């Protein structure tokens, strides 16, 4: 079993920045991609960003939703199975619960392709 623990959410003003972190523990050997999804009240869960690694631990891709491209940056530590999301130029529409997800290599934007999920961390962008 794998456990994912997120941290770093909070309240920030529009235009501000936050950094989210997610660490995996347990039987992490099957994890070759990690991602962030978000869900705002009354909306469906949506893909934010994903990062993937090769079997040797080299980053093979970083993928972003169009809505965050140029503002958010995903990074990770393949050895520790950890992922980070640096969020800059935050907008009120970025307000949501952000969840970390992990899974085997493959399709990266569909929640169904991830086996493990964290509890989520609230990000609120408001003045």
Return per-residue pLDDT of the chain as tens, 127 residues.
Answer: 899 999 999 999 999 999 999 999 999 989 999 999 999 999 999 999 999 998 888 988 999 999 999 999 999 999 999 999 999 999 999 999 999 999 998 889 999 999 999 999 999 999 9
Please give the pLDDT value at position 57: 86
CA 122 to chain centroid = 13
Nearest to 9 by CA among 124, 117, 100: 124
Q: How far apart are CA 81 and CA 38, in angstroms?
A: 20
Query: In angstroms, what CA-CA distances link 6 with 20, 24, 54, 79, 101?
Result: 7, 9, 23, 17, 10
What angle (nearest 5°) sits at the alpha carbon of residue 73, between those of residues 108 and 51? 25
DSSP string, 19-30: EEEEEEEESGGG
> Is the CB of residue 39 less than 8 Å from the CB of residue 48?
no
Instruction: Give the end-to-end CA distance of the chain in Å, rounded to a whole number.
Output: 40
Residue-level pLDDT at 114:
96
């Amino acid at each position: 079993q794998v456990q994912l623990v997120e941290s770093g959410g909070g309240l920030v003003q529009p235009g501000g920045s936050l950094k989210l972190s997610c660490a995996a523990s347990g039987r992490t050997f099957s994890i070759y991609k990690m991602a962030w999804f978000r869900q705002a009240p009354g909306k469906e869960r949506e893909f934010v960003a994903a990062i993937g690694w090769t079997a040797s631990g080299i980053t093979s891709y970083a993928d972003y939703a169009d809505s965050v491209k140029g503002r958010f940056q995903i990074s990770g530590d393949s050895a520790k199975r950890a992922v980070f999301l640096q969020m800059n130029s935050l907008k009120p529409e970025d307000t949501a619960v952000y969840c970390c997800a992990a899974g085997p290599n493959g399709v990266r934007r569909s929640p169904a392709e991830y086996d493990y999920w964290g509890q989520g961390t609230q990000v609120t962008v408001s003045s």
